[in-house]
Structure formats: C-alpha cells, structure tokens
C-alpha cells in the first residue's frame, strides 16, 4: 500500500472511518514480555463482555471497517475468542489477530484453518530460544514454534511471523527470512516503541543507529516484507519505504482497548491520548467527534522539523516514540536518522518520561505452561 | 496503489462489474476498495471514478459506461484506472 502526496494530505485530515483499527480483546496474558506495548498481564474486570463485544462488531461492520486487527494481552485466553472472531467474519469484518501461539494446539489450529477471512500472526522476537525468551519469557520460543508447526500441519496457509526489531535481533534478519520461508509464512517486522513496559526496556533494546541503517537497506531490497508502516522514520535514509509514510494516529488508525477506551493508536495507551469510550458514545461518535481526534487531524505544523529537508520523508516520525521518551510532539522522533532527536533530548534541562496511566502487569510472574 | 497502464486482459467491449468480493467505502477523496479474498486495500482517488465503477454493472460494455460518464479528453485516464482495478482483481466480467 502506498499513496501519492495528495492522498497522504487527505489521510492526514482523517477518514470517515479508520483503515487500520486495532482492538485489544483483553489485558490478560500468560506471558510478560518486557516490551509489551499495553503492559498486559491481568484481566481488567471492566472488559467488554460478549454481548458488548458483538455490538461493537456490529458497529464496525456498519462503518464499513473492512477488517480489524485483534490483539491483547493474549486474545486467545478469552473464553469467547472463537465466538467473537466467527461472529466478526459472519458480519463481513475480516479478522487479523496477533497471538503468542501458546493456545494454538492441534484442535485450535484446525478450527482457525477452517475460518475464512482470517489472518493471524505469531509473535517471535528471536530466531533462537535464547534471544527470544530473554524478552518474551522462558518457554515462549518453543510455544511459538509449536503453534507454527500446528498451523502448518492444519494447512492454515500463509500466516505471519511478527517480529519486533531490537538491538538483539537485527543481526538475525536473514535467519528470520529463512524461518518464514520454511513455513511458507510472511515475515512482518515492527518497530520497538517505548510504550507500556517498553518504557523501561527501550534504552537497552532499541536498535543502534547503525542497525537502523542496516534494517532500512534490508527492507528496501525486500518490499514483500510486511512492516505495518512501522519504519517510516527511517525513510530519510533514501527512497521511501513501502507504506503511507505518515503517523496515522486518530486519522487512519486507532485503538480500542479491552475496556472500550479509544486511543489514538496502539502505542499510546495513556490518558493524554484517550479519545473516549465505546460504551458511552459508540465508537463512530468517538472516531468522528472526539476533541482529541479532531485536533490530531487539524495539525499541520511540522514543529522543530520545519527546517529539515527530510520532513516530507518522515513527517516528524512517531508520536508515541516522542511522547514516551519525554519529547514534545513538535520535536523530532527520538530515533531520527539524522540525529535531530538525540539533539532535542540532549537540549532538555530535565527529561521527564510520562508515567503509565494503565498498567495491567502481573505483580508476580508465573511460569509459562504450554499445551503439548 | 495500482499502477495505471492498459492491461491486455481488460477488454472494454465486454460487460464488467465490481467483484462481489469487493466492498467500497466512500471517502472525501473517492473511496476505499477492499477485496475480501486477496485482503488487499486499493484507493479510488476520485469521486468520479467511484461513480463510474459503481455504474459499470448496468452497462453492456465498459465503452458504453465511459461514453455515459466520462468526457472524451479524460477517457484514456479513466480507462487506465479501470484496467488497473481489474488487474487487482476488483472487477469481474459479467
């Protein structure tokens, strides 16, 4: 998906409904990844129940949102998981969901394979257990690989392997590509954000500048590798990467969290980016009328990036990455490839990183049990 | 976005229509088209193109639809846009 500049301008002013809607079904998760965007772990007692979730699907269908990206937490731990995805597909809302794979046994794999209009991605942050489990927890590599084996055996077709790029796995890019080929899967790479528990691990896990350059050139040679439009901050390194190359928050993208709160994007679960709640007003009203979203669509100022010749390539980068590193939204991206973000951070007298307003991390870690 | 160039497979003397697997959502710039089978999203970048695409199904040929909806100087551009949509499997021969 890519767009010419007039279309991009149009997208920046917002659409009638999102193109990319992420809906996190639960904050419950049996893993405790150190970079979890949503600080998931414990279920929230206020989470939408089955009836409310189905009403939301009805509204998504009525707004002609063609597919929804389902995540969590681990969405498959919800008892009504299959009921909800099958209901969505029945309403012609395609489902793309993200899972750690721990709940994909033989039976689940066959059921998933039998469902039309369903895409899934299994998260994996290293090509070996040592690299992966350091971030995602002991046993999570084996669980993810077992899930992939079950999907392959059930003839699911091309699922996705979804990788968050970190300092520890940029060197494994070719090996990830081979792994995807082994399964006939699509490789999907996304950017590490300093969001959720990532606030605490971003400094040590984010790719170095040299690694970001490696990643950019690797991606340019492989336009078939999926990125969810994640790396547009790297586009000033040369030709633009595949995708819209803009921050879609509140314009073409948003997040509905498990309790029905609507945030500008999946990476900004924080009160400052909370637009409203689907229980109170319905999702459509929040999308169209919330003060936050209206203001995001109104912003035309390139801020501190105004004088940079590369502004058109990256549009100032990722709002979430700026916010959670203590930068102003008018500042450059902290990982600006021209180094302007580092300068902006260095010029702050005191860098105050925002404190999470929605933490569902488990207080005590529990060992992962996986199904055989 | 599909690249606009005439396709050898797109025969404008035949009757075409929007594929039953495709949904259109109107937007200020035109429309989003989503193919539920290929799961690809395509942008229709003008409201005039959207009107033309929706009307295709009620004409005996693409040429007739172009005659009715498009001024002569714009014809090649709209033909190319339709051919590109056809290559993305958004249109089906009737």
Interface test with A, best of B22, B27, B35, B42 (most A CBs within 10 A): B27
DSSP state of A296: H
Tens of pLDDT, residue by residue over A161-181, are 999 999 999 999 999 999 999
**Residue carrying structure tokens 């979430």:** A320
Q: Report the residue of chain B nearest A65, measured CA to CA.
A: B25
Q: How many CB pairs below 8 A link A and B?
A: 42
Give the start-to-end residue ranges of the domains of chain B.
19-93
Interface test with B, best of A10, A11, A18, A297 (most B CBs within 10 A): A10
Residue B1 to residue A2, Cβ atoms within 8 A: yes
Across chain A, what does the average pLDDT equal? 94
The pLDDT, as a whole number, for residue B1 is 39
Q: What proportion of chain B, given as a percentage, has pLDDT over 70? A: 91
- CA–CA separation, A83 vs A88, rounded Å? 9
Residue B1 to residue A94, Cβ atoms within 8 A: no
Residue from the list A10, A67, A117 with its beta carbon closest to the beta carbon of B29: A10
Asked if the ipTM is above 0.90, the reply is no
Residue from the list A2, A16, A92 with its beta carbon closest to the beta carbon of B36: A92
Structure tokens that stand for A27 in this block: 């904050």
Beta strands in A57-185 (DSSP E): 67-71, 94-99, 118-123, 160-165
The pLDDT, as a whole number, for residue A80 is 98
- CA–CA separation, A125 vs A134, rounded Å? 9
Residue from the list A3, A64, A94 with its beta carbon closest to the beta carbon of B1: A3
Q: Model confidence at A370, in pLDDT bands (50, 70, 90)?
A: low
Contacts of B9 (CB under 8 A, 6+ apart): B86, B87
Residue A19 to residue B39, Cβ atoms within 8 A: no
Query: Given CB atoms, is A62 within the 8 Å cutoff of chain B?
Result: no
Residue A94 to residue B36, Cβ atoms within 8 A: yes
- Res. B7: pLDDT tops 60: no
Residue A94 to residue B28, Cβ atoms within 8 A: no
Tens of pLDDT, residue by residue over A100-157, are 999 999 999 999 999 988 999 999 999 999 999 999 999 999 999 999 999 999 999 9
Write the DSSP string, A245-274. Answer: -S--BTTTEEEE-TTSEEESSTT--SGGGE
């Amino acid at each position: 998906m890519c767009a010419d500049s007039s279309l991009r301008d149009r997208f920046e002013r917002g659409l009638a409904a999102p193109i990319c809607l992420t809906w996190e079904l639960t904050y419950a998760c049996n893993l405790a990844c150190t970079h979890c965007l949503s600080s998931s772990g414990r279920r929230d007692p206020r989470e939408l129940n089955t009836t409310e979730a189905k009403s939301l699907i009805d509204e998504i269908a009525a707004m002609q949102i063609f597919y929804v990206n389902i995540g969590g937490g681990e969405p498959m731990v919800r008892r009504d998981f299959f009921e909800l995805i099958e209901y969505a597909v029945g309403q012609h809302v395609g489902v793309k969901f993200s899972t750690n794979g721990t709940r994909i046994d033989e039976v689940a794999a066959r059921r998933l394979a039998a469902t039309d209009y369903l895409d899934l991605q299994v998260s994996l942050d290293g090509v070996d257990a040592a690299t992966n489990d350091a971030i995602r927890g002991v046993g999570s590599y084996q669980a993810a690989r077992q899930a992939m084996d079950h999907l392959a055996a059930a003839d699911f077709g091309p699922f996705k392997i979804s990788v968050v790029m970190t300092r520890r796995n940029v060197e494994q890019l070719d090996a990830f590509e081979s792994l995807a080929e082994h399964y006939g899967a699509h490789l999907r790479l996304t950017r590490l954000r300093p969001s959720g528990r990532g606030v605490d691990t971003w400094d040590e896990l984010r790719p170095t500048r040299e690694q970001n350059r490696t990643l950019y050139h690797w991606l340019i040679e492989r336009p078939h590798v999926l990125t969810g439009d994640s790396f547009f901050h790297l586009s000033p390194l040369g030709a633009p990467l595949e995708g819209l190359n803009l921050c879609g928050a509140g314009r073409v993208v948003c997040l509905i969290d498990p309790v029905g709160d609507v945030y500008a994007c999946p990476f900004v679960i924080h009160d400052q980016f909370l637009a409203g709640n689907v229980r109170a007003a319905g999702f459509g009203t929040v999308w169209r009328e919330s003060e936050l979203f209206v203001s995001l669509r109104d912003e035309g100022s390139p801020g501190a990036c105004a004088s940079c010749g590369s502004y058109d390539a990256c549009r100032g980068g990722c709002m979430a990455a700026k916010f959670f590193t203590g930068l102003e939204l008018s500042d450059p991206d902290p990982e600006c490839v021209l180094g302007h973000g580092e300068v902006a951070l260095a010029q702050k007298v005191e860098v105050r990183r925002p404190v999470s307003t929605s933490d569902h991390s488990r207080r005590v870690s529990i060992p992962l049990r996986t199904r055989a | 976005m599909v690249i606009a160039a005439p396709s050898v497979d797109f025969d404008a003397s035949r009757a075409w229509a929007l594929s039953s697997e495709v949904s259109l959502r109107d937007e200020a710039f035109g429309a989003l088209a989503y193919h539920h089978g290929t799961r690809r999203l395509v942008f229709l970048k003008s409201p005039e193109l959207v009107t033309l695409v929706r009307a295709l199904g009620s004409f005996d040929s693409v040429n007739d639809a172009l005659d009715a909806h498009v001024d002569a100087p714009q014809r090649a551009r709209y033909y190319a846009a339709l051919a590109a949509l056809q290559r993305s499997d958004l249109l089906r021969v009737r």
